[in-house]
């Protein structure tokens, strides 16, 4: 008798478990379809939408942080601010800096606040509508990116230009002939030669591209070509091609605030050149030190996942 | 008259040639006397030897820091380890031999992990040194960077890093760097030589002349070695015009 009832209990449990399993699988299938059809919570609202709901911005060095307002205010301040100087008389940008204006890496266009993001107004200041002027095919590719694309940041690869400028905390060091920007992400760095040397020839493609700098008055101008272009500009998947030419302009507007713009020109992807604006604020912690990240060692702990992800990541850029 | 003018000219030419030879030999003398006199070293504004620039080793330490014969794809090489001997404790030697046997898969380099210190110093890739009075940075083409803060204390441990924590000071014309807080996940070379998390390094960087930077490192690790040991090698300045650090993002390549 006892053995019989145990078998019965077992049979009932197995059938119950099957039912639960089927329900779970159906729900998973349904939600997958739903996710596939919906857009990311931080996608750009359709053109003509009312302003997205975002967390309020702060103010730094006498300028509001909101990108378009910061851009206008900083342009005025840059005309009169006399920056501290290095021994060779160049503006002294040395120290640790955190980004402002672009408060999260979700989407460089306007996007609403989400459970884990502040939301932002668009960092695109030209064109005035704040929209990246994609060619139609490229706009469609951007839409598809979020669904199938895993951010190269998942693999600890270097940010290209302009993302390098609004990524993690920067440590700037200036020596005669060079500006160095060390990045508190994946132990990456950027070397900016200031000696007027020509760009690398186009057959050498680099994750950060061929980077060349020059001073125009108090502004550090950085010219970037030859990017491998296998990284995106944000999590939503805004992108450019290997054809892109990026010009960054970096000006101090207060001893603790830097004004940063990047103009991206890529006739293969965009209908016209366009410009982003954001800022840097001096890291308020005087004892701050940049330490080793071991990014890839951490990611490798989920080896199977990353191998699958790597295939997807590279796949997104293949035709 | 003509012969007199000719004789005077001849004497003048001989004197000029003698002066020229003397001048040339005078200028050659310092180059033939290593190491260069310290007064001839290029110096920074604060008077330290100028070690900034792009450097690279010219040896086979990346494959094996000890003496080794050639094998396919591996050039033969003489040890960078002083005296060639590594004073492994018995169990550690067994582990090194095991590592060597499994090196093609067990080497952390094959997983694109950071090579660690000192291994990153002699990977066959260039690296660039940034030098300021308070900070020295080393930017490696083989992925990664070292921060060496001068005249400052190690943070409070325990911490485990592949590259450890580097704090430096100038002792005369030698940069001395104390490196601690390692993990046990990096090797010294592709031949399975390894260390534990108890490793402690003292590195000495001495500029020999403008284009040669001597590197010496003393390794202490009581868990793996019975006594401290030392290796040394020169870094050579990459003098090609417009040479720059490129990139090698190991994990980006399809494997």
Reduce the secondary structure of A144-192 to three states and give it as a string: HHHHHCCCHHHHCCCCCCCHHHHCCCEEEEEECCEEEEEECCCCEEEEE
Q: Long-range contact list for A143-149, CB < 8 A, 24+ apart?
A: A143/A39, A144/A237, A145/A232, A145/A236, A145/A237, A145/A239, A145/A316, A146/A39, A146/A40, A146/A43, A146/A235, A146/A236, A146/A237, A147/A36, A148/A312, A148/A315, A148/A316, A149/A232, A149/A237, A149/A312, A149/A313, A149/A316
| Chain A residues touching B162 at Cβ < 8 A | 292, 294, 297
Quick check: is A2 in a domain?
no
| Chain A residues touching B128 at Cβ < 8 A | 191
Which candidate, A122, A95, A74, places its Cα nearest to that of A279? A74
Residue A178's pLDDT is what?
A: 98
What is the domain range of residue A89?
Answer: 63-315
Element (H, E) at A22: helix A2-37
Strands A170-175 vs B174-180: parallel, antiparallel or unpaired? unpaired
Q: Which residues of A touch B (CB under 8 A)?
A: 87, 155-158, 173, 175, 178, 180, 182, 187-189, 191, 193, 197-198, 200, 204, 206-208, 230, 289-292, 294, 296-297, 300, 310, 314
How confident is the model over B30-77, as pLDDT tens digits? 444 445 556 689 999 999 999 999 999 999 999 999 999 999 999 999
Residue A298's pLDDT is what?
A: 78
Tokens at B49, concatenated: 């030897």
**Span A31-40, average pLDDT:** 50
Tokens at A34, concatenated: 């739903």
The phi and psi torsions of A100 (rounded to 5 degrees) equal: -135, 165
Tokens at B167, concatenated: 């704090």
Q: Residues 147-176, chain B: which have Cβ within 8 Å of A?
A: 147, 149, 155, 161-163, 165
| Chain A residues touching B131 at Cβ < 8 A | 175
Task: Specify whether the backbone of A148 is left (phi greater than 0), alpha (psi in -120 to 50) or beta.
Answer: alpha
- Judged by CB atoms closer than 8 Å, whether chains meet at A175 and B249 is answered as no
Sign of CA dihedral A138, A139, A140, A142: positive
Quick check: is A96 in a domain?
yes
What whole-number percentage of chain A has pLDDT above 70? 81
In the predicted structure, residue A259 carries a pLDDT above the cut 50? yes
Cis peptide before A127 (omega within 30 of 0): yes
Strands B145-150 vs B165-171: parallel, antiparallel or unpaired? parallel
- Judged by CB atoms closer than 8 Å, whether chains meet at A180 and B249 is answered as no
- Give dist(CA A65, CA A11) in Å, integer: 64
Quick check: is A221 in a domain?
yes
- Judged by CB atoms closer than 8 Å, whether chains meet at A292 and B245 is answered as no
Residue of B nearest to A306 (CA): B251
Place of tokens 């507007």: A253
- Give dist(CA A263, CA A164) in Å, integer: 14
Tokens at A145, concatenated: 């990116």
**Span A258-275, average pLDDT:** 98
| Chain B residues touching A175 at Cβ < 8 A | 52, 130-132
Coil, strand or helix at A135: coil
DSSP character string of chain B? -HHHHHHHHHHHHHHHHHHHHHHHHHHHHHHTSSSPPGGGS-B-TTSSB---EEEE--SSTTT-SS-B--BTTB--B--SBTTS---B-HHHHHHHHHHHHTHHHHSGGGGT----TTGGGGSSS-EEEEE-SSEEEEEESSS-EEEEEET-PPPSS---BSS-EEEEEEETTEEEEEEE-B-S--BSSTT--B--TT-EEEEEEEEEETTEEEEEEEEE-TTTBSS-EEEEEEEEE---TT-------GGGS--
Quick check: is A171 in a domain?
yes
- Give dist(CA A225, CA A211) in Å, integer: 7
**Nearest chain B CA: its distance from A37 CA (Å):** 31
Residue A26's pLDDT is what?
A: 47
Q: How many domains does chain A have?
A: 1
Instruction: Indicate the residue of A157, A182, A292 with minimum beta-carbon distance to B162.
Output: A292
Mean pLDDT of chain A: 87
- Report in angstroms the alpha-carbon separations of A61 from A1, A278, B251: 83, 13, 41
Which candidate, A261, A260, A228, places its Cα nearest to that of A244? A228
Which of A212, A296, A304 should we substitute to test contact with B (largest number of B Cβ atoms within 10 Å)?
A296
Contact call for residues A284 and A257 (beta carbons, < 8 A): no
> Residue A302 — very low, low, confident or very high, per pLDDT cuts 50/70/90?
low
pTM of the model: 0.85
Report the range of poorest mean pLDDT among A17-26, A143-152, B5-14. A17-26
Quick check: is A27 in a domain?
no
In the predicted structure, residue A36 carries a pLDDT above the cut 90? no
Which candidate, B179, B236, B206, B189, places its Cα nearest to that of B86? B189
How confident is the model over B164-220, as pLDDT tens digits? 999 999 999 999 999 999 999 999 999 999 999 999 999 999 999 999 999 999 999
The domain that holds A110 is classified in CATH as 2.40.128.20
How confident is the model over B227-255, as pLDDT tens digits? 999 999 999 999 999 999 999 999 888 65
DSSP 8-state secondary structure symbol assigned to residue A85 = B
Quick check: is A91 in a domain?
yes
Tokens at A295, concatenated: 């990014």
């Amino acid at each position: 008798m006892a053995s019989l009832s145990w078998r019965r209990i077992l049979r009932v449990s197995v059938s119950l478990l099957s039912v639960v399993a089927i329900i779970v699988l159906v729900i998973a299938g349904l939600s997958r379809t739903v996710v596939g059809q919906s857009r990311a919570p931080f996608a750009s609202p359709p053109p003509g939408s009312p302003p997205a709901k975002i967390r309020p911005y702060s103010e730094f060095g006498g300028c509001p942080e909101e990108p378009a307002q910061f851009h206008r205010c900083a342009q005025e301040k840059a005309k009169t601010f006399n920056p501290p100087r290095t021994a060779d008389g160049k503006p002294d940008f040395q120290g640790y800096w955190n980004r402002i204006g672009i408060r999260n890496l979700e989407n460089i266009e306007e996007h609403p606040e989400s459970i884990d993001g502040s939301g932002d107004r668009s960092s695109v200041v030209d064109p005035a509508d704040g929209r990246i002027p994609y060619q139609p095919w490229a706009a469609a590719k951007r839409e598809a990116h979020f669904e199938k694309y895993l951010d190269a940041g998942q693999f600890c690869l270097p940010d290209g230009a302009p993302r390098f400028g609004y990524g993690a905390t920067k440590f700037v060091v200036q020596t005669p002939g060079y500006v160095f920007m060390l990045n508190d992400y994946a132990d990456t760095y950027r070397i900016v030669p200031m000696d007027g040397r020509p760009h690398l020839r186009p057959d050498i493609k680099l994750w950060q591209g061929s980077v060349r700098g020059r001073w125009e008055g108090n502004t550090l101008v950085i010219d970037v070509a030859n990017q491998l272009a296998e990284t995106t500009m944000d999590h939503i998947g805004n992108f450019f091609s290997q054809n892109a030419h990026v010009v960054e302009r970096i000006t101090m507007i207060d001893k603790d605030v830097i004004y940063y713009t990047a103009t991206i020109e890529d006739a293969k992807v965009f209908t016209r050149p366009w410009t982003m604006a954001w800022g840097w604020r001096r890291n308020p912690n005087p004892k701050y030190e940049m330490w080793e990240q071991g990014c890839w060692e951490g990611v490798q702990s989920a080896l199977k996942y990353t191998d699958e992800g790597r295939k997807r990541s590279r796949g997104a850029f293949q035709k | 008259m003509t012969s007199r003018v000719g004789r005077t000219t001849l004497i003048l030419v001989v004197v000029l040639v003698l002066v020229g030879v003397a001048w040339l030999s005078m200028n050659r003398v310092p180059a033939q006397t290593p190491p260069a006199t310290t007064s001839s070293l290029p110096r920074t504004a604060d008077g330290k030897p100028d070690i900034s620039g792009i450097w690279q080793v010219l040896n086979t330490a990346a494959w094996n820091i000890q003496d080794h014969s050639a094998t396919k794809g591996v050039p033969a090489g003489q040890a960078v380890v002083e005296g060639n001997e590594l004073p492994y404790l018995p169990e550690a030697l067994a582990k090194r031999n095991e590592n060597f046997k499994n090196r093609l898969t067990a080497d952390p380099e094959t997983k694109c992990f950071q090579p660690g210190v000192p291994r990153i110093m002699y990977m066959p890739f260039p690296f660039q040194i940034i030098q300021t009075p308070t900070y020295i940075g080393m930017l490696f083409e083989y992925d990664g960077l070292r921060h060496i803060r001068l005249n400052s204390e190690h943070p409070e441990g325990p911490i485990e890093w592949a590259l450890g924590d580097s704090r430096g000071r100038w002792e005369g014309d030698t940069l001395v760097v104390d490196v601690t807080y390692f993990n046990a996940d990096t090797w010294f070379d592709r031949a399975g030589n390894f260390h534990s998390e108890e490793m402690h390094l003292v590195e000495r960087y001495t500029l020999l002349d403008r284009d040669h930077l001597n590197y010496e490192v003393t390794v202490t690790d009581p868990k793996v070695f019975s006594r401290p040991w030392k290796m040394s090698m020169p870094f050579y300045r990459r003098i090609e015009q417009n040479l720059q650090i490129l990139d090698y993002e190991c994990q980006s390549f399809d494997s």
